Amino acid sequence: MTTVGQVAGAPGTAVVRRARRTARRAFRPRRSWPAFIAAVLVLAVAVLAGAAAVSAVAGAPLRVPVVGDALDRAAGMRWRDTAVLVAAGGAALVGLVLLVSALLPGRARWTALRTDDPDLVVGLSRSALRRAVAAAARGVSGVRGVRATVRRRAVRVRVDTELRDRPDLRDEVAEAVEERLDELVPLRRPKVRVRVRTAKA
C-alpha cells in the first residue's frame, strides 16, 4: 500500500509525532453516559434552585413537598450528624465514579491507521478490520473456516482445517494476517494470536 508519506517523501519526526497525536485524539473512545447523567443532575438542581429563587423574590416561596420536607429536616441537622456524613460520602462517591468514568476511555469502535500526515486521519471499524483479517487467513491453503475477533490489543484468529499433516499451518496463517496488518498499518499494532482446530474424522 502506498501511503502519503511514500508519495511526498519521508516526513520529519515532529510531523509524524503530531500526526499520531491527532489520530489518537480523533479516534479516542469517549464515554457519553457519565456526561449525560451529570448534565441532567446539574440541570435539575439548577432549575429547582432558579425556581425557588424567583418564587422567593416574588413573595410566594415555592413549596415542593419532597424538597421542602428534606430542606426542613436538613436545617435542623449538624455537620457531625450521621445522616449528613452518609449523604456527603454518597455524593462524593457518585461524583468520583462519574469523574473516573469520564476520564477513562470507553470501548474503541475504530482502529486508527498510520498516515504520517497530521491533516489526514484514517480509521477502520472493528468489523472491517475483522473481515480483512479473516479474508487474509482464509486465503491460506488448507483453511476451511475462519473466525476472527478484534480486541483492543490483540487479534485472535481461529481456523478450521481438515488437514492433519500441516504443523506449519498456524505459522502460515499468522504470517498472512501479519502481512495484511502491514498493509493497513494500524497506529497501535495488535498482537496476532492464531489457533488451529482440526476437524474430526
For residue 128, the tally of other CB atoms under 10 A from its CB is 14
Q: Is residue 148 part of a domain?
A: yes
Three cell numbers, residue 196: 488451529
- In this structure, the answer to whether residues 134 and 188 fall within a common structural domain is yes
Chain segment 82-134, per-residue pLDDT in tens = 877 887 788 888 778 877 777 776 666 788 888 877 778 888 888 899 999 99
Q: Are 199 and 144 in contact (CB under 8 A)?
A: yes
Query: Would you mind telling me the total number of residues written for the chain in this entry?
Result: 201
The pLDDT tens digits for 16-49 are 777 777 767 766 666 667 777 777 887 887 777 6
Q: What is the DSSP letter of 165?
A: S
Give the span between the Cα atoms of 74 and 79, in whole angstroms: 10
Q: Are 159 and 196 spatial neighbours (Cβ–Cβ below 8 Å)?
A: yes
* Whether residues 167 and 118 fall in one domain: yes
Q: Is residue 7 part of a domain?
A: no
Note whether 141 and 177 are same-domain residues. Answer: yes
Domain coverage including residue 191: 110-198
In CATH, what number is assigned to the domain containing residue 187?
3.30.70.1350
Count structural domains, the chain.
2
Rounded Cα gap, residues 189 and 2, in angstroms: 18
Instruction: Report the alpha-carbon distance of residue 32 to residue 101 in Å, rounded.
Output: 9
Q: Which domain-ending residue is among 46, 70, 103?
A: 103
